[in-house]
């Protein structure tokens, strides 16, 4: 009778169901039992063991067995956590965007205040007349710093800057006949003094300094400039704020307006040059009073005309 064949597995208790990823031939080896004894049996067993593939083992987390079987996915709690985080991020971005115009308005107010402090101190230390020119017709205006040459008569106090008038005045000075000291006689004889000569032209000029002479107010515009001590208010054109060698100025309220129509009033005190700003349009009632509470002398209307 021929010996019966049986399937020999590499590990005790191993079955075919435990080797799904391996074929049957690699999982177990079909052998015919032989009666071998002695040293020959030991060598045969070693050869058979070396030819038998070892079992592949993998550590599996106890809680991941069902996921591997049913397929990977997210739980409801994980989805809710992600939704809450995304909603918080969108809310933070929306709040920051809504506050952006106010932040830009505050930044413009700080820039303007810094420029006024610089001009007030520079006029006092250099003993010169300076002015800050503002354009009320442009978005994100550029404020220019100019000086008046020292040693000449002070110009007329007028906040309005008329470029056409300044160009006409310059042309007049350039084309007006000057007195010839070598020939003071007029064209009609000795009794004719001739055309009266004009003194050298003195105009506002750019400030000669290594520091910035321009101030850019980004994403805002100057809605109006009010001079309470002069009873004047401007809403368009070029307007200037002058700073005198003694450190005083005309006193002004500059209204800044953002793209979202938020308003900020920059208040410049006339005597000290102190600057502060408040929300909305604010004109202090005591702006034109000195330290003793007396009203500052108003501008002479006849001189203005």
> 9: number of CA atoms within 13 Å, CB side?
14
The set of residues, in sequence order, having a beta carbon less than 8 Å from that of 150 and lying 6+ positions away, is 127, 128, 129
Query: 33 lies in a domain?
Result: no
Query: 248 lies in a domain?
Result: yes
Tens-digit pLDDT profile for residues 213-225: 778 888 899 999 9
Tens-digit pLDDT profile for residues 185-209: 545 444 444 444 444 555 666 766 5
Query: Residue 100 and residue 222: Cα distance in Å, rounded?
Result: 18
Residue 298, pLDDT > 60, answer no
Query: 73 lies in a domain?
Result: no
Residue 242 class from Cβ within 10 Å (0-12 exposed, 13-18 middle, 19+ buried)? buried
Query: 280 lies in a domain?
Result: yes
Q: What is the CATH number of the domain that holds 140?
A: 3.55.40.10
Buried b (16+ CB within 10 A) or exposed e, 261-292: ebbbbbbbbbbebebebeeeeeeeeebbbeee
Query: 161 lies in a domain?
Result: yes
Query: 12 lies in a domain?
Result: no
Query: 11 lies in a domain?
Result: no
> Which domain covers residue 242, as residue numbers?
106-173+201-304
pTM of the model: 0.55
Please count the structural domains in the chain. 1
Residue 253, pLDDT > 90, answer yes
Lowest mean pLDDT of 34-38, 193-197, 208-212, name the range.
Answer: 193-197
Query: 22 lies in a domain?
Result: no
């Amino acid at each position: 009778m021929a010996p019966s064949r049986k399937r020999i597995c590499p590990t005790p208790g191993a079955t075919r169901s435990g080797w799904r990823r391996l074929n049957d031939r690699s999982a177990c080896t079909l052998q015919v039992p032989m009666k071998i004894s002695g040293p020959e049996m030991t060598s045969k067993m070693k050869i058979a063991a070396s030819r038998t593939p070892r079992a592949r083992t993998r550590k599996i987390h106890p809680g991941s067995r069902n996921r591997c079987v049913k397929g990977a996915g997210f739980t409801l709690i994980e989805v809710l956590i992600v939704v809450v985080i995304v909603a918080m991020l969108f809310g933070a971005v929306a709040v920051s965007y809504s506050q952006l115009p106010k932040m830009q308005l505050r930044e413009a107010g700080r820039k303007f205040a810094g420029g006024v402090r610089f001009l007030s101190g520079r006029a006092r230390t250099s003993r010169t007349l300076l002015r800050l020119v503002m354009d009320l017709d442009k978005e994100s205006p550029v404020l220019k710093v100019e000086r008046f040459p020292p040693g000449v008569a002070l110009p007329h106090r007028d906040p309005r800057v008329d470029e056409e008038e300044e160009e006409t005045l310059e042309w007049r000075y350039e084309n007006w006949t000057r007195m010839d000291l070598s020939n003071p006689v007029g064209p009609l004889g000795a009794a004719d003094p001739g055309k009266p000569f004009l003194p050298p032209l003195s105009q506002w000029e750019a400030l000669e300094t290594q520091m910035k002479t321009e101030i850019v107010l980004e994403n805002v515009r100057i809605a109006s400039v009010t001079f309470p001590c002069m009873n004047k208010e401007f809403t368009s054109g070029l307007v200037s704020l002058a700073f005198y060698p003694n450190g005083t100025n005309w006193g002004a309220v500059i209204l800044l307006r953002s793209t979202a129509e938020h308003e900020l009033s920059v208040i410049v005190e006339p005597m000290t040059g102190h600057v502060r700003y408040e929300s909305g349009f604010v004109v202090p009632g005591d702006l034109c009073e000195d330290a003793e509470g007396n009203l500052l002398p108003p501008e002479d209307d006849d001189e203005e005309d």
